[in-house]
Every structure is written in C-alpha cells, then in structure tokens.
Structure 1
Amino acid sequence: MSEGVRATPHPLRTLGHRLFELFRTVAQNSPSRFAIFVFVGLILIFTGLFSLPIASATGQVTRFADALFTAVSTICVTGLATVNMATQWSPFGHVLIFIGVQIGAMGVLTLASILGLVISRRLGLRAKLLAAGDTNPLRSHGGPVNESQTVRLGDIGALLRVVALSTLVIELVVAILLYPGMLASGIEWNVALWEAPFYAAMAFTNTGFTPNVEGVGAFADNYWVLTVLMGGVFLGSIGFPVIFALRRELWHIRRWPLHTKLTLITTTTLFVLGGLVFLGLEFNNPATLGSLDAADTTMQSFFLSAMTRSGGFSVLNMSELNGSSQIVAMMLMFVGGGSASTAGGIKVTTLAVIALAVWSEAKGRNSTQVFRRRIPSDVLRVALSVLAWGSTIVAVSTVIILQITKADVASVLFDVISGFATVGLSTGLTETLPESAKYVLAVTIVMGRVGTVTLAAAVAATSRSQLYSLPVERPIVG
C-alpha cells in the first residue's frame, strides 16, 4: 500500500466508536435518564440470563414473564417473586440472584456514577453532581448544590469507596455471625457455608430472598439468627451517607449532619413503635402470635416491624395478620428506609421533613427548624413531590391490578405497596398473578426503586430558570 493511500477504518470499529460517543453524550447531557437507561439495561440482561435453561432447576427455559419479574425483583432488591425461589432456580440461578442484588444495592445513581468514571477516566463535575444527587435526594434537582447537602462534592470519591467497602465488610461480618447460628439450627456445615453469605447479602441489601424451602421460618425460634438478620437489614436501610457520616464522626453526635440525625431518629422510632403496635394488635391472634409465649411474641413483633421497613424476610404469614396489622404494615412499608440506601419507600427523611413542617406550621413558625438548623423550603417541596408521586404510583397500579385480577382489595394494595417500596413481603397474591398483572407490578417496582424524584427529573427534558416573578394570589386551602 502506497504512503498516499489512507487505510479505511474497520466498519465494526467505527460503529463501536459511534456507540461509545453516543453512550457518553447521553450520560453527560441527561444523568437521570442515563441512570434509568443503565438500570433497565441491567434488568434486560438478567432477564436473558434467567431465561437460560442452565438457570432453571429443571433445565427448561423459564417463561419470559417470570424471568423478567425475577430480574426486576433482583436488580431492584425487592424480594417479591412469581415463582418459588428456592426450587425454581439451579445453583447457577442462585448465583445470578446473589450477584444481581449486589449490583442493585449499589443504587442506580451510584452505579451510573461509577460507569461515568470508567468512561471519562476521572470523576468529573457531572459525575460528582450525579452522585451527590443520590447521596442527598432532598436537594432540589433543578437548582445549585447548596452548602447544606449531606455529602459535599469533594467527598464523593470517598463516598463511592465507602459504598463498595461497607457492602463487602458488613455482609462478611453478618455471614460470619450467621454461620454458628445456622449450625445450631441443624443446618449442615457445608450447606451453611453457602446459606450464611446468601442470607447476609439478602439482609444488607434488604431483599429478602431465601435459598431454602422453609425460608426464615427454619430459624423462627433462633433468636441469634433473627437478631443478626435485623442488624443487617438496619445497616442496609439507613443509607450509605449515614454510614459515611458515622464512619467519620461516630462518637461526636453533635457533628453529625442533620440528615444522619433525622434518619437514625426516625428509623429507630418507627421500629420501636411498629414492634409495640404489632405486639398489641396480634398478641391474641391464634394464627400469628396468639399461640406463642411472651418471649417469642415480643421477638416476632419486632422482627416483623424491622422487616416491613424493607427487609422482606417473613416468619409469619402476611395473609393471616389482622386487618389492622396489615394497615400498619402497609404504612411502614410505604415509608421505607433511609435515602440512598438499599431500602425503598418514600424514605424516612421525607416523612421527617413533612412532619416537622406540619409541627412548625402548628406552632406558627415561618420556617421549619430542628436541631438549631433551618430546613429550606425547596426541601419541603421535594418531600411533598415524593409523597405525591409515590401515592399516585401506588394508587394507579392498585386500580389496574384490581381490574385485571378482581382480587381482594387489601391483598392487592399490600403487594403493590410492598413492590413499590421494594420490601418483598406478600400475602401470597404475587405468585398467582396473571402475566399482564405481573408486568404492571414489575413496572411499579422499577419506578419505586429508581426513585420518584429521579423519575420526575428524567421525564423533564431540561430545567429552565425563570427570570421573573408572577403576581401573588392566595387560594383558600383547607
């Protein structure tokens, strides 16, 4: 070939370069949409993997609707299932579940930030803003990042390291603590070597899948195993920003960020109140706690309170709870856990901010104040938006599934809230759903996991600044 003739680039190399540039452009111009794109892409990949004959215990191809729902529930760390998770999947399928929940636990925005880091070879300002949005969902998406955000931009690199490190360390510790407890319950040592890390991953990621047929019921009288599982669920539900803050200022409570204080106080309060309420409502129900002694009744009440916050493990049959207890469970599931955590729901900080705003309004204050700090009005607007979006998603999904199945209202609402809040508890309805209802519930799970604020930001094409103010007029409210 002469020196004057330029070599023609290979078509595949040109196509790959164009796809790479398109991938990076989308990531830079619309981080929220890019995050959702990554999440949906992972779901489709795992759907294909779950459809493989090697993933099934019978060696047959799993139906598309069940493979898709399992992929959604795995990546979204939900725990709801349309099949028997212990008997449907082969060892390869269980490994897929284990890997999938680890990916999902990282969070859609944190995962997108890491991918952005790989693409750009460095963590640029856009990636930092993206990660900052996940670590503090209470900030206004359209406005600048203010000084009061939970984790500042300079800390994002350290935060991402904490996310990966804390996941590995906590799950390892939980697995080590679970192992002797499983042996005490009669689990063979070689079986416990697999089940202990599996349960540890399901606890910290707040998923609730179980590898054994009996589920957590096999450890119903083993207080050690139940307590360790509750601890793993708690650490996963408080959120990575809280873990990040505690890692730096564990013994200096006054230095804790406001987000950390609100998360820990609200989480603990809901856990204690939930346990006491379940204890009072179920102590005379022979189908649940009525036949147990005082110690077992207390333990199961608080275990249920912890699991309704997004843990998903279940010793009791949810369909046998009193109607009053089911309502309380729905309320706890809808709230969920901490922001940027493996838990779902509208988040405890959302509830805390709304409650504080109501209290401030009752006291006649012009601003919302707590711990000698003022919460800006844009935070309250985002909290109300999250509540409104979450309620709308649950309501629409419930109506559609009710129309499809003609099932009991309480059962449908319970499973829909469980799906939206990525809890995983079920009255038994999910396994009996027709395919069309499975798709509806799967979409609900994705919308709940991705986050209502992120979803709203992705729908909006751009954020435009308004450089003028309209005349004020007050409508009558209340």
Structure 2
Amino acid sequence: MTSRTTPRPAARTPRFRPHPAQVVAAAFATTILIGTGLLMLPIATPGVGGASFLDAIFTATSAVCVTGLIVVDTATRWSAFGQVVILLLIQIGGLGIMTFASVIGLAVMRKLSLRSRITAAAEAKSVGLDDVKGLVFGVVRMTLVIEASVALLLGLRFLIGYGEPLGRAVWLGAFHAVSSFNNAGFALFSDNLISYATDPFICLPIAAAVILGGLGFPVIVQLRRHLRMPRKWNMNTRLVLAGTLILLVGGTVYITAVEWSNPATLGPLDWPNKLLVGFFQSVQARTAGFNSVDTGAMDSASLLGTDILMLIGGGPAGTAGGIKITTFGVLFFILLAEVRGDTAVNVFGKRLSRAVHRQAITIVLLAVAVVTASTAALMVMTDISMDKLLFEVISAFGTVGLSTGITAGLPEAGKVILMLLMFIGRLGPITFASALALRDRPTAYELPKERPIIG
C-alpha cells in the first residue's frame, strides 16, 4: 500500500512594501518630472520653441519644492500656460503630494486606505492615524481661505493702486497669494518685488501670508481652536511662536541696522520705509524668497545673518523649509540644560523626550554636512566668492529662493547640485535618508555602555 503525501505549498515571496518616506520621495520626484514635461511643451513659452530640459526641470523642482530659485525670468520666459503650470506645482508642492493625493482619494473613493493614511501622516508629520482625514481637509480648507483673502487684498491693490486691468489684477493677486502662503517666492515681475519695496499694501499682505505658511499647519489649527487659551498650547506651538517672534524681530533689527546706510539697498529710503524693507527681508529669509531689494548688493554681514535665518527656517509640518524652529529650539534647550548641569531637558514646563534629542542632533549634523559638501563642490566648479555660494546653497537647502543673482550663471553640474538640495530640503534630511535606506534595522540587543572624553 502506497502512501500519498500532500505537497507543501511553495513559499510565498514577501511583497515589497516601500517605506512611507520612499513613497513620499517618489511622489515628489514623479510630480517634478510631470511638471518638467509640461514646461517643455511649446505652449509653455512665448515665441518659437520650448524650454530646454535643464531650465524646465530646474523650474519644476523649484516650484514643487516651493523654493523660488530661478534660472530664467518667470515673467518673460514662461507664457500664461507655463505660469499656470508653475502655480499648480507650487500649490501641490506646498500642500504636500500625499496630502493632495489623499484629497483626490477622499473625493473619489470617499475613504482612505491604511497605506494612504500612513504615507499622508508621514508627510504631514502627524503623530497618529486617526486624525489624518480631518487633518487633510483642515489643511486644504485653511490653505484656500488664507490664499483667497490675500489674493483679494493684492488684487484690489493692483487694480485700484496701479490701474491694472481686472483680469491681470486678479491673476497677479492669485499668483502671489499662492506663492507667498506656500513660501515659494516666485513673482511675476522681472525684478521680483523691488518695484513695490515701499508699498505696504503689497508687502504686508505677502509678508503675513509667508508668516502664516511658515508657522506650520498644526500651529495654525491649534491657534484657531485655542487662540485665547495659551495654557492649552502644546510644546510645538509654544516653540514655533516664540522662535518666530524672536527671529522676525531679531532679523529685522539686524538687517535694517547693517543695511541702513548702504546706497544700493536701504540708504536712499526714509526711516519708515527702511523699517518696512528690513522687516520684509527678515520675513522672506524664513524660507519665502521674495526680495524687495537687490540681494546681491547687500553687505556680506547681512548675507551671513540671512544665512542663519534661512538655515533655521520656519515651523514643521507646513510650507517652510530649513532645519525648523523646533529643531533649533530643542538644541538651545539641550545646551541650556547642559550648561546648568540639569539631568533632564525641560521646555515650557514639560520634559523633553530623549528620542527628540537624537532627532534634532541628527538633522543639524546632516544639514551641516550637506551644506558644507555642496558649497565645497561649487567652489571647485566656479570662481565665485564663498559667501555668495554659501548663500545660494543654504537658500536651496532651506527652500528659500533668495539669490545673489548667480544661479543662472552656474555650470550645469552646479544647477544639478542646487536641484538636489531643494529636493532634500523639501523632504527633510531625515525623510530623505530614510527613503535611501533599504530596510528598517531593528536591534534585538544592546551593547555595554562606555563614555569617551568630551570637550
């Protein structure tokens, strides 16, 4: 009698499930490529022929990463179609690719898959999955309300104050409202906003939109709910608000003082307009990139101060770039605790998690490494002074968009470096590094402790 054995089922090959950071990075890269293709169409540029691949991909990268660095004049190089494409790329990039995809999914399917919720939460820096749907709708609603309000103010000013035709005034208001709230810095004027440097009805609404966008969506949501109850603000909101106020005031005082007598910037202006321009430039250094004076004519000390503001950036989980105010604030309190000899780091009456210490230090070290390596590479390629190259590198990494005017003249390899910096800066150093990792590496053991001599 023969026995019949049942064959074992073949082992299934485990499905590759990309890390959420890899999904976010791929989504941004795909959007940039689509934008590049649209900008290369003949209809995207006036006259005969389309844009070159390098000009198109640099502009698309700058728009999706809400930076504002340009290699061609936005006002003259791109047609109405090309400018609309840039505007859409700014809006999608500012909202976040996965947030935008979630909106489409909710509109079509009326629900979000678990994977979609995880990737949207990873992009939005959300701490939980239950609130992702509400977060997505809240972000979109808030964005549209702020942009519409700023667009109305700007449109009326262009219409009444400068006699622009109604259609042109509406377009100018809408474009600059979207560009400012998303901290993009693209402008539809060849001199950016230098012609409107002393017009508070143009500069102040744009500055307000930049500040709101730079706070980050979680802060705006909490302020909307508990504006008159500061005791309910969490540590993130307190750090962002305190840091924003200190950096705005400090930046305004510093830039205004250094440039006060500079004949190429603030020198010819009376003192109220000097304060307006100094404040506007301090706001833009927070990752927006509009300029109301010639940045290339600013004193080297102003460029260095602006470097610091650009590197710190704005609030997390918003449209701002840089290492973020919260990261800088955490490092400050770590330093303060170490100097005092405290055993724990306390921030606004709460103890800081040790995991946050490691994250903050990691972000800063990665940022310093990326900025240093990129600046050194550009110094090898060009004869441009280090202060201007460093300014351009930090502006790209911080997704700011301020420029001393050297971007268009960089060699092709230099422009590629700036594109990579914009991409890394928009994703965030840790997210970018996580996207490069092949897999998570959980550790099942701990090694014995030992302390080297520090300092």
- With structure 1 as the length reference, what TM-score do the two structures score? 0.88
* % identical aligned pairs: 39
Partners of 1:240 and 1:376 in 2: how far apart? 22
Q: 1:67 aligns with which of 51, 56, 73?
A: 56
Cα distance change on mapping 1:117 and 1:389 into 2, 3 Å: farther
- How many angstroms apart in 2 are the aligned matches of 1:96 and 1:29? 29
Deviation of the 1:152 alpha carbon = 3.8
Aligned-pair CA distance for 1:280: 1.4
Distance in 1 (CA, whole Å) between partners of 2:156 and 2:59 is: 30
What are the Cα deviations for residues 344-379 of structure 1, in whole angstroms up to 9, with x where unaligned? 111111101110111111111111111211110111
Distance 1:328 1:56, change over 3 A: same
Residue number among 86, 89, 97 corresponding to 2:86 in the alignment: 97
Question: 1:243 Cα deviation (Å)?
Answer: 1.7
Question: Counterparts of 1:53 and 1:223 in 2: how far apart (Å)?
Answer: 38
- 153, 162, 172: which one aligns with 1:177: 153
Deviates more, 1:183-192 or 1:467-476: 183-192
SS, match of residue 315 in structure 1: coil
The aligned residue for residue 365 of structure 1 is 342
2:447 alignment partner in structure 1:
470
Residues 321-360 of structure 1 mapped to structure 2, 5 A cutoff: 321-360=298-337
Q: What whole-Å deviation, never above 9, does each CA across 1:423-461 have from its counterpart, x for those lacking one?
A: 111000001112221112111111111111101111222
Which residue in the other structure is 1:302 paired with?
279
Q: Find the counterpart in structure 1 of residue 232 from structure 2.
A: 255
1:55 paired with 2:44, answer yes
Distance in 1, matches of 2:56 and 2:67, equals: 15
Aligned residue identity for 1:167: T
In structure 1, C-alpha distance between the alignment counterparts of 2:16 and 2:70, rounded to whole Å: 32
Kindly provide the CA deviation profile for residues 246-289 of structure 1, in whole angstroms up to 9, marking residues without a partner as x.
22222221111211111111011100100011121111211111
C-alpha distance in 2, partners of 1:171/1:27? 40
Q: Contact between 1:117 and 1:124, CA under 8 Å: does it hold in 2?
A: no
The answer on 1:78 being equivalent to 2:72 is no
Instruction: Return 5+ residue gaps in structure 2 as ranges.
Output: 1-13
1:216 aligns with 2:193: yes
Q: What is the Cα deviation at residue 175 of structure 1?
A: 0.6
Per-residue CA distance 1:288-326 (angstroms, 9 max, x = gap) = 112211101111111110001111110111111111111
Is this contact kept in 1: 2:20–2:118, CA < 8 A? no
Q: Quick check: 2:27–2:98 contact (8 Å CA) kept in 1?
A: no
- The CA deviation at 1:123 is 3.0
Are 1:419 and 2:384 counterparts?
no
Match of 2:33 in 1: 44
Residues 247 and 26 of structure 1: is their aligned pair in 2 closer, same or farther, counting only changes over 3 Å?
farther
Structure 2 matches for 1:436-455, cutoff 5 A?
436-455=413-432
> Who is 2:10 aligned against?
none
- Report deviation, 1:130: 3.3
Q: Which amino acid aligns with 2:315?
A: G
Aligned residue among 244, 260, 277 for 2:221: 244
Which residue of structure 2 lines up, in the alignment, with residue 144 of structure 1? Answer: none
**1:180 deviation in Å?**
2.5
Alignment match, 1:10: none
Q: How does 1:123-134 map to 2 (within 5 A)?
A: 123-134=112-123
* CA distance in structure 2 between the partners assigned to 1:178 and 1:230 by the alignment: 12
Shift in CA distance, 162/391, structure 1 to aligned 2, threshold 3 Å: same
- Judge which range, 359-368 or 94-103, deviates more: 359-368
Partner of residue 20, structure 2: 31
Provide the rounded CA distance (Å) in 2 between the counterparts of 1:184 and 1:326.
36
Distance 1:169 1:58 in 2: 36
2: CA distance between counterparts of 1:234 and 1:26?
44
**SS, match of residue 44 in structure 1:** helix
Letter aligned with residue 47 of structure 2: T
Letter paired with 1:107: G
> CA distance change for structure 1 residues 263 and 471 in 2, over 3 Å: closer, same or farther?
same
TM-score by length of 2: 0.92
- Equivalent pairs, count: 441
Contact 1:402 / 1:412 at 8 angstroms: preserved in 2? yes
Question: Secondary structure of the equivalent of 2:86?
Answer: helix
CA distance 1:458–1:26, change in 2 (3 Å) = farther
Alpha-carbon offset, residue 214 of structure 1: 3.9
- The DSSP-based 3-state class of the residue aligned with 1:467 is coil
Whether the 8 Å contact between 2:397 and 2:425 is mirrored in structure 1 is yes
**One-letter amino acid of the counterpart of residue 277, structure 1:** Y
Partners in 1 of 2:400 and 2:276 — Cα distance?
Answer: 20
Equivalents in 2 of 1:161, 1:454: separation in Å?
23
Match of 2:382 among 393, 399, 405: 405
Tell which deviates more after alignment, 325-334 or 406-415: 406-415
Q: C-alpha separation between the residues in 1 aligned to 2:445 and 2:311?
A: 38
Going from structure 1 to structure 2, the CA distance change for 1:348 and 1:404 (only over 3 Å counts) comes to same
CA contact (8 A) 1:36 1:108 kept: no
Compute the displacement of 1:109 (Å). 4.9
* Cα shift at 1:183: 3.2
* Cα shift at 1:125: 4.2
CA distance in 2, matches of 1:363, 1:108: 43
Structure 1 letter corresponding to 2:57: L
Deviations 1:214-251 (A, max 9, x none): 43122222112111110000111111111222222222
| CA distance in 1: counterparts of 2:101 and 2:450, whole angstroms | 42
**One-letter identity of the residue aligned with 1:51:** M
**Residue number in structure 1 paired with 2:9:** none
CA distance in 2, matches of 1:178, 1:228: 7
Structure 2 vs 1, CA of residues 402 and 343 (structure 1 numbering), >3 Å: closer, same or farther? same
Deviations along 1:25-53, one digit per CA (max 9) or x if unpaired, are 99954211111111101111111111111
Q: Distance between the aligned counterparts of 1:432 and 1:114, measured in 2?
A: 39
Alignment gaps of 5+ in structure 1: 1-24, 137-149
* Map of 1:274 onto structure 2: 251
Matches within 5 A, 1:279-298: 279-298=256-275
Quote the residue 1:155 is aligned against: 131
Taking the aligned partners of 2:48 and 2:152, their CA distance within structure 1 comes to: 33
What SS is found at the alignment partner of 2:356? Answer: helix
